[in-house]
Amino acid sequence: EYENRRRAKKKKGKRKKGLVKPLYTSQDIPPVMELFETIGYQKWLHITDGVRAQFRDAGHILGSGSVTLEIIEGDKKTMFGFTGDVGRPNRPILRDPKAMPEVDYLICESTYGNRDHIEKPAEEERFLNIINQTCVEQSGKLIIPAFSVGRTQEIVYMLDRLENEGRLPHIPVFVDSPLAVNATTVFGSHPECYDNDLHEYMLIDDNPFGFTNLTYVRNVDVSKSLNTFTEPCIIISSAGMMNAGRIRHHLFNNIDNPQNTLLIVGYCAPHTTGGILRKGTEAIKLFGEWKMVKAKIEIMDSFSAHADRHELIEYLDNQKGKVKTIFLVHGEFEAQQDFKMLLDKNGFENVAIPDLGQTVELE
């Protein structure tokens, strides 16, 4: 539907492209939603004869989970696991990742298989320093591209704490993403998923995702008004990799101003706008126009919801000596290679990096 609306807009000097037949439309979604069933963590779910599945809290984003399959064929039982995206221990809001049952074969993510994140106190101080340098000393805008689910809520929660501590400068903060607004509402509706620290914090502040100078923006006209907003401010907008969404408009209007700062708070695929900016490009093409990158680019991967290499090793500790093969996926090849060597050094045997489309026959 979105693609057809885009193609229907005839641009000057360009021919309209033919419309495409969608696999489904928005009208198909409500009846599908009625078919969803909620499955709790750490409960075995019967799939079919000889096959059961169990989810465990992965601590990555709200509702994320690892998957373990128990497969029985005759007298043989095989345990097969998929980590999915593994979260980080001791992070704000969500509970820590729960270790998976012991498995025979494991598909494991490796996003940060060759990196370590900075610790929480240093992270908070650096974040505050970036805010002060950009918004107070330079009277500029701090633009933060962030995923709508998880990353945005963590940033808002940190700002909320800084506000309650009296350390956040008196500047407006905008969350400009309809999806992030909706996701934050969902977060607020599920306190059972919060960690103990957040529950204790809520005894002091019952709304960890809202404070005086914070505005959630749904309306597109309000979003557009931020383009001409001249006061120092913080704008949090999606998408996190900057390849789509309202963040592209904020980049277009702010990336060429040396007073501003673009704070990248997580992984960006190399081919995306975020990935290109991470590499230190001098210019970026937005909406068909080349813009000089004069704003300061800051990177804080510690906000990432993905475990770093040593956090992954800790998460996998109960598999050591039991798992027959670990298959590394969801990571750049260099990260996979480095993480494979780290796993080897930590006593994990038979670590494989499968090729795309490769078929592996299990014993």
Distance between CA atoms of residues 77 and 348, nearest Å: 22
Can you give the pLDDT at residue 120? 74
Can you give the pLDDT at residue 11? 56
Q: Domains of the chain, with CATH numbers?
A: 2-27 (no CATH), 45-115+305-352 (3.60.15.10), 120-303 (3.40.50.10890)
Can you give the pLDDT at residue 46? 97
Name the burial class of residue 132, with classes exposed (0-12), middle (13-18) and buried (19+) by CB atoms within 10 angstroms of its CB. middle
The identity of residue 54, as a single letter, is Q
Can you give the pLDDT at residue 342? 98
- For residue 15, pLDDT over 70 is answered with no
Using an 8 Å Cβ cutoff, are 68 and 79 in contact? yes
Instruction: Give phi and psi for 255, each to the nearest 5.
Output: -70, -20
pLDDT digits (tens, 9 = 90+) for 287-313: 999 999 999 999 998 888 999 999 999
- For residue 314, pLDDT over 90 is answered with yes
Using an 8 Å Cβ cutoff, are 225 and 260 in contact? no
Instruction: Output the pTM of the full model.
Output: 0.84
Mean pLDDT of the residues in the chain: 94
The neighbouring-strand residues paired with 109 are 329
Name the burial class of residue 81, with classes exposed (0-12), middle (13-18) and buried (19+) by CB atoms within 10 angstroms of its CB. buried
pLDDT band at 119, cuts 50/70/90?
A: confident
pLDDT digits (tens, 9 = 90+) for 153-199: 999 999 999 999 999 999 999 999 999 999 999 999 999 999 999 99
Q: Is 300 helix (H, G, I), strand (E, B) or coil?
A: coil
The neighbouring-strand residues paired with 130 are none
Can you give the pLDDT at residue 21? 86
Can you give the pLDDT at residue 16? 62
pLDDT digits (tens, 9 = 90+) for 79-109: 999 999 999 999 999 999 999 999 999 999 9
- For residue 22, pLDDT over 90 is answered with no
Helix axes 120-131, 151-164, angle to 10 degrees: 80
- For residue 10, pLDDT over 70 is answered with no
User: Span 16-29, mean pLDDT?
Assistant: 85
Can you give the pLDDT at residue 172? 98
Residue 269: CB partners within 8 Å, gap ≥ 6?
241, 275
Q: Which residue has the higher pLDDT, 16 or 95?
A: 95
CB-CB neighbours of 20 under 10 Å: 10
pLDDT digits (tens, 9 = 90+) for 197-251: 999 999 999 999 999 999 999 999 999 999 999 999 999 999 999 999 999 999 9
User: Span 40-44, mean pLDDT?
Assistant: 96
pLDDT digits (tens, 9 = 90+) for 189-201: 999 999 999 999 9
Nearest to 255 by CA among 287, 225, 296: 296
